[in-house]
Amino acid sequence: MTGWLGAWLLLCAAGVLVTLGAALWRVWRGPARADRMMAAQLVGTGGVAVLMLLAPAQGWAALDVALVLAILAALAAVGFVKASTPDGAGDPEEADAPHDPPLDLATDSARSDRDVA
């Protein structure tokens, strides 16, 4: 692909690569594991964006690679969530959360009527 459109796509890809540098810095220096994982997700998303921007110049074969990278990034996020939970079930909200008693709608509505009056 030549002309101004090809130059524009290359410029956009270079801009995305610059932002990926910031994301890689966060992966390296992130204060928490979740920050590092979110930055790794951003790197995966940025990699997909760069591949999609460069696909016209590469004969569209890069779109297949971009699709595989997107799937791998999603699977990495699922693996991170499963590894973060104590039992490996993948539900971070269930870890050591106090269980609320079931709601009784009759008493809750009566209580809210008293609070209003």
Tens digits of per-residue pLDDT, 45-81? 999 999 999 998 888 888 999 999 999 988 988 888 8
Say which residue, 85 or 64, is predicted with more confidence. 64
Q: Is residue 8 part of a domain?
A: yes
Identify whether 27 is part of a domain: yes
Please give the Cα distance from 86 to 95 (Å, whole number). Answer: 7
> Structural domain tally of the chain?
1
Is 117 a domain residue?
no
* Residue 93 per-residue DSSP state: G
Other CB atoms within 10 Å distance of the CB of residue 50: 20
Is 13 domain-assigned? Answer: yes
Query: Does 98 map to a domain?
Result: no
> What pTM value is reported for the model?
0.67
105-110 average pLDDT score: 54
Residues spanned by the domain of 10: 3-92
Does residue 112 form part of some domain? no
> For residue 111, what pLDDT band results from cuts at 50, 70 and 90?
low
Residue 106 resides in a domain? no
